[in-house]
Amino acid sequence: MPTLKDWIEELAKGEAIEAVVLGEMGGWSDYGGEEVPNYVDCPKGVVLSWEDAIQWLSYEFSSSFGAPGCQAIYAWTATQVISVSQYDGSTTPFSIPRNPVDGMPGMPGG
C-alpha cells in the first residue's frame, strides 16, 4: 500500500523537498480521516518543513475507489510542485513544473 511520503519522494526524484502543506481528505469534507493517525491534530493549511511533515505523511492507505484514504497535499521541490489527484476517491500522485518549461502537459484525474 502507498504512503504519501513514498509518493512525494518518488516524484521528487532525489530533489530536496522544500516545503509541504497538508489539507483535508480530498474533496470529501464529511470523511473523518480514519486512516490518518492523529488526523484531528494534523496541522492543515500551513507551510511545514519536510522534516515536520513526515510524521503526517507516513501512513499506508488505499488508493482505490471510494472515499479518499489520504489527505490533499502540496509539496515543493526546486523544480516542481507535487500533489494528489482523485477521481471518485481513487487517488494518484502527480507533479507539475514549478517554473515555465517546454514540455507536453498531462491531465490528472478522471
Q: What is the pLDDT of residue 28?
A: 58
The structural domains of the chain, with segments of one domain joined by +, span 4-97
Nearest to 86 by CA among 57, 61, 63: 63
Query: Cell 518543513 maps to which residue?
Result: 49
Confidence of residue 36 (pLDDT cuts 50, 70, 90): confident
Is pLDDT above 80 for 55?
yes
Task: Transcribe 16-69 into DSSP letters.
Answer: ---EEEE-SSTT-TT---TTSTTGGGS--SSEE-HHHHHHHH--B---SSSS-S
What percent of the chain stands above pLDDT 90? Answer: 51
Rounded Cα–Cα distance for residues 40 and 34 (Å): 10
Rounded Cα–Cα distance for residues 37 and 51 (Å): 17
